[in-house]
Structure 1
């Protein structure tokens, strides 16, 4: 039986949303922006990299649109996701349009000379995203594109289930740390939530594998 190429409804909405965001911000603000715009901020909300107006308003976002199309394609054509309609997959599909909107908002405000504390916007968003993902992570069924994809989780449904239950708690805890970090300005702290999300599920999954799970 031939497998059909497909995009689900929410994927089409996500792709259209990212394109509309791109068109909206460029029609309204492109010609009003200065020739040089900030493209990167450090953890102290200080601009440490600038780019041309074309790079900041068009180049970066064309790349994000392409990434969004690729992500939706991978999610919708994963054989393990045919019968899976999980909230985490939906979050994944709408994450890039949301990121595009936030980046455009920060860039445009900076272009108008408004002092924007980028980390005060991005860090809480990442924290809430981690909490949402962590809350629904235990409900993800084994697949090839979404979740904690390790050799041991992909090898066993039970290992996958247990690891994602622990991973859910890890993501929620990491998300809370991100929210707390909004009030601090120490760059090394950003590593702590990522270490929690990566190491704890990985170690636990390998531990289960060694026990034969």
Structure 2
């Protein structure tokens, strides 16, 4: 399967979202529940036309951005080196958005389920794939852990992404376990995600400084 075919799947998810909006519209109320708290209790609504259009339009805009990135990145050749993983990320993100859209519509049609747990489960699988992607990402300006230190050193980039990939997978697993804890499930996703972000940024800085000190020591010894 090539890039064009993978993007065709992503386009299919966008079109599917739009079609579902059109088909479901007559059966939906004038205002749709579109937000839930950590306990899964609805706490905000949106007008039907806006709610039904928002997700397909968002997915289409993101798809356009994802299609442009490999062409505009100054290190576009590096994206090509992990292009299949990048393309599948696009497919998974558009699929995730479509899934959220279907969930919102189903809830507003009267199907009873815990929407927060539904979304957290989907996010966990998204995180796991991000962990896979990070393990293959080469240095670029748009995809990955982009700190001043990873962008300045290929060694720092590679080591930081190896660590980040493992941490994102672990975060996904912890998030899935958290689904067993009801209203606290959100924290099983949020806290590990924040810790993962802090560790990867801090590690990239620490590793860069260590490499710089080693280089300075080698220069001084000469």
* TM-score interval for Structure 1 and Structure 2 normalised by the shorter chain: 0.7 to 0.9
Mapped pair 1:65 → 2:60? yes
TM-score in terms of structure 2 length: 0.83
**Which residue of the other structure, out of 45, 50, 55, is the alignment partner of 1:50?**
45
Kept in 2, the 8 Å contact 1:134–1:169? The answer is yes
Contact 1:56–1:107 (CA<8 Å) still a contact in 2? no
- Work out which of the residue numbers 20, 23, 26 in structure 1 matches 2:21: 26
Q: How much does 1:137 deviate?
A: 1.7
Match of 2:150 among 150, 153, 171: 153
Question: For residues 142-196 of structure 1, what are the alpha-carbon distances to aligned partners after superposition, in whole Å with 9 as ceiling and x for unaligned?
Answer: 1111110000000011110000111111111111111111122225444312212
**1:176 equivalent in alignment to 2:173:** yes
In structure 1, the partner of 2:220 is none
TM-score, normalised with respect to structure 1: 0.86
Report 1:24-173 matches (<5 A).
24-82=19-77, 83-173=80-170
TM-superposed CA distance for 1:47, in Å, is: 1.0
**Residues 156 and 72 (structure 1 numbering): CA distance in 2 closer, same or farther, change over 3 Å?**
same
Larger-gyration structure (1/2) = 2
- Shift, 1:122, TM fit: 1.4
- Alpha carbons of structure 1 residues 85 and 169: separation in structure 2 relative to 1, 3 Å: closer
2: CA distance, partners of 1:141 / 1:37 = 42
Greater percentage in helix: 2
**Take 1:200 and 1:122, find their aligned partners in 2: how far apart are those partners?**
25
The gaps in structure 1 that reach 5 residues or longer are: 1-7
SS at match of 1:72: helix
Bigger drift between 30-39 and 70-79 goes to: 70-79
Deviation, 1:80, is 2.0
What is the distance in 2 between the residues matched to 1:175 and 1:87?
A: 21
- Give the total of aligned pairs: 206
What secondary structure sits across from 2:38 in the alignment?
coil
Cα deviation digits, residues 13-46 of structure 1 (max 9, x gap): 1552243113320232112211111111122111
Q: Distance in 1 between matches of 2:188 and 2:166?
A: 19
Equivalents in 2 of 1:126, 1:41: separation in Å? 15
Kindly tell me: are residues 23 and 103 of structure 1, through their superposed partners in 2, closer, same or farther at Cα, counting changes over 3 Å? same
Answer whether contact 1:81 1:143 (CA < 8 A) is retained. yes
Q: Cα distance, 1:11 vs. partner?
A: 6.5
Give the match's secondary structure for 1:148. Answer: coil
